[in-house]
A and B are shown apart, each in its own frame.
Chain A
Amino acid sequence: MDTWALLIAATLNAGTVLAIAALGLLVNERAGVVNLGAEGLMLVAALAGFATAVHTGSDWLAFGAGALAGAALAAVFGVLVIWLNTNQYASGLALSLFGAGFSAFAGIRYTQEKLASRPHFEIPGLADLPFVGPALFRQHPMVYAAMLLSVALAWFLYRSRAGLVLRAVGESPESAHALGYPVRRIRLAAVVVGGALCGVAGAYLSVVYTPLWVEGMVAGKGWIALALTTFATWRPARVLLGAYLFGGVTMLQFQLQGEGVQIPSQLLTMLPYLATVLVLVLISRNPTWIRVNMPASLGKPFFPGS
């Protein structure tokens, strides 16, 4: 019983990294921009966050540093693809490759660093409930923040005027432009917000979840987050659900290893990646389903006056 509660807790924790990043990417993609640089963004942000935590001891400053790093890199990417009309896929890849190289280069001195042990969080009263206490109410505040974020994002996208404009920019930039909305600035803002959220996810990974800095530590989570937006057919609540599903797969792998199941650890480590492929296959095999849900101008550049 207790192991199950801990497994649920660990799943939520693991899913949080993916959820925050994927919700950020959802904002980009709703505005019509695919950012394949998520992995690189998260690496640089993970380093920025970790370094900040080492020097200041503050988690919240670390998240801020991660957000800033993510936003700054995303802004470079955004200017390239939105104003210079560079290919979105190639530019995103460039960002991923640069982020991997840069974080490895700049992070060397932090590979030996350790963070002081993290404070333990619990929600007074609720944390002591049997089962649900340890399962749900002893999490880092960021876990709850991710849940709130998905609700807030759903409200923003479907209930607010600004969200409607954002979706319009992703569905039909020509119409939005004709109505007088600054399509390119809105897209840039969406890209920067998306980058900042990926940055927070990266910082959460290195400061709270792991917590340490290792070269390449994001290990594909940026790419899995990209897959999650497709999986969730670009809906915030489903992104959250998908993130926990993948968090669960990751945890299942550790659980099986811990119980001494006779499967080589490498094969278990493959699980989240294989699960991503499987999920993509299942969700994509109905092209109409994807076409109906995908922002219509996703990945297409917009050049006003054309």
Chain B
Amino acid sequence: MLRLEARAQPSRAMSVASPLIALALTVLIGVALFAVLGKDPLRGLQMFFVEPLKSGYALSELAIKATPLVLIALGLAVCFRANVWNIGAEGQFILGAIFAGGVAMQAQADTGRWIVVAILAAGVLGGMLWAGIVALLRDRFNANEILVSLMLVYVAVQLLGYLVYGPWKDPHGYNFPQTISFLEPTRIPRLVSGLRANVGVIVALVAALAVWAFMFRSFSGFALQVGGLAPAAARYAGFSSRRALWTALLLSGGLAGLAGALEAAGPLGQLTPHVPSGYGFAAIIVAFVGRLHPLGSVLSAVLMSMFYIGGELAQSRLGLPKSITGVFQGLLLFSLLACDTLIHYRVRRAGGAAAHEPARSGAAQGA
């Protein structure tokens, strides 16, 4: 029998190695899955890990998918570090898209390019509003933020549906549930002509730097993390838990809203019921796989985009359902959580040395 023995200190090496082991496990299961489905596993892996990196076009598509994932995951990383369980980023993303769309639809053909800034600001505002509701209900009424933020996702989906089926429907759209196509001045500027990747990529990278600075170089970010790790210590130090709650939720809501605005005025160019595409949920995985660290989030967002594009390619070229992406995403998070055990514990044969005191406290597990 094997048993777990608590390490005296969390292992730094394992903390880095764990996502890699988890990825390896996911790939192994993927290979088995391809084999079971009667597909060539090598070709399957090629779809996920080679094709998305092959050309400038492929890289541009990769960047388009990674941008919202990075932005949302950055905010979630702050939330989770503060022990604030915002899992409704999908809803905040949708509200960002709705607010951005509302501004974008006001544009005329001769409107200046400044409107892009207004669109993005509106998106941030929309996301903050939606997350602000969660913060308010948690702060004022003690309502569980997990359930409230999640319920608001469903509400946001319906709100979007109401708008595109109702008041915002394009009168010349053959009755399709969609808004007008946003006019040229509203479009997010592209990085290279001919490729869809836009300045959103730069926005996301700047945001990653900013969040890094906030987390590790600002007092407010420090206080927020102490509150997440050791609420009693934070209270003793006089750090306000209410402030941490509001900061984490408004920051993550704003970033998710920004992602929604970039998506609406970027690759989509109009609002349809298909704005919600699961980025808000996938970003939860991105944040965890990225170790709740800004740099890690960027890397794992790229990985997750490869899963997305790989899934699309597996559909068009191998005839597999696109939803295979969701299977791999779920598996990755599962394996990661299992591997993370090795950060705090080592595996020992039973009957060996007596167990030490576990180094973790209940609070450190965020539970």
- A interface residue numbers (CB < 8 A to B): 36, 40, 76, 80, 83-91, 93-95, 97-102, 104-105, 108, 215, 219-220, 223-224, 226-227, 230, 264, 266-267, 269-270, 273-274, 276-277, 280-282, 284-285, 287, 290, 299-301, 303, 305-306
Contact = CB atoms under 8 A, between A and B. Distances in A.
A-B interface, 9 closest residue pairs, ranked by CB to CB distance from nearest: A101-B326, A98-B330, A104-B323, A266-B162, A94-B333, A105-B323, A84-B341, A285-B141, A86-B337
Contacts of B142: 284-285, 287, 290
A126 to B, nearest CB: 37
A91 B326 contact: no
Contacts of A300: 362, 367
B137 interface: yes
B166 interface: yes
A274 B344 CA distance: 40
A101 B327 CA distance: 5
Contacts of A273: 151-152, 154-155, 158
29 contacts: A80-B338, A84-B4, A85-B344, A85-B360, A86-B340, A87-B365, A89-B85, A89-B146, A89-B367, A90-B333, A91-B337, A97-B333, A105-B323, A108-B323, A215-B323, A219-B154, A220-B150, A264-B166, A266-B161, A270-B159, A273-B154, A273-B155, A277-B137, A282-B141, A284-B144, A301-B362, A303-B6, A303-B358, A306-B358
B214 interface: no
Interface of B: 4, 6, 85, 87, 137, 140-144, 146-148, 150-152, 154-155, 158-159, 161-162, 165-166, 281-282, 284-285, 288, 321, 323-331, 333-334, 337-338, 340-341, 344-345, 355, 357-358, 360, 362, 365-367
A281 B143 contact: yes
Contacts of A230: 144, 147
Query: Looking at A94, A230, A269, which has the most chain B CB atoms within 10 Å of its CB?
Result: A94
Contacts of A267: 158, 162
Nearest to B85: A89
A301 B365 contact: yes
Contacts of B367: 87-89, 299-301
A108 B327 CA distance: 13
B338 A266 contact: no
A281 B325 CA distance: 36
A91 B340 CA distance: 11
Given A93-B333, A97-B330, A277-B143, A264 B154 contact: no
B151 A102 contact: no
B337 A280 contact: no
Given A85-B344, A98-B326, 18 more contacts: A36-B146, A84-B337, A84-B338, A88-B367, A89-B146, A97-B333, A98-B329, A101-B323, A104-B321, A105-B323, A227-B151, A264-B162, A266-B162, A266-B165, A273-B151, A276-B151, A277-B147, A301-B365
Contacts of B355: 305
Contacts of A270: 154-155, 158-159
Nearest to B282: A97
Nearest to A91: B337
A36 B85 CA distance: 12
A195 to B, nearest CB: 15
Contact of B327 (A91, A102, A290, A299): A102
Contact of B141 (A85, A97, A284): A284
Contacts of B344: 85
Nearest to A275: B151
Nearest to A306: B358
Contacts of B282: 97
Given A264-B165, A300-B362, A223 B150 contact: yes
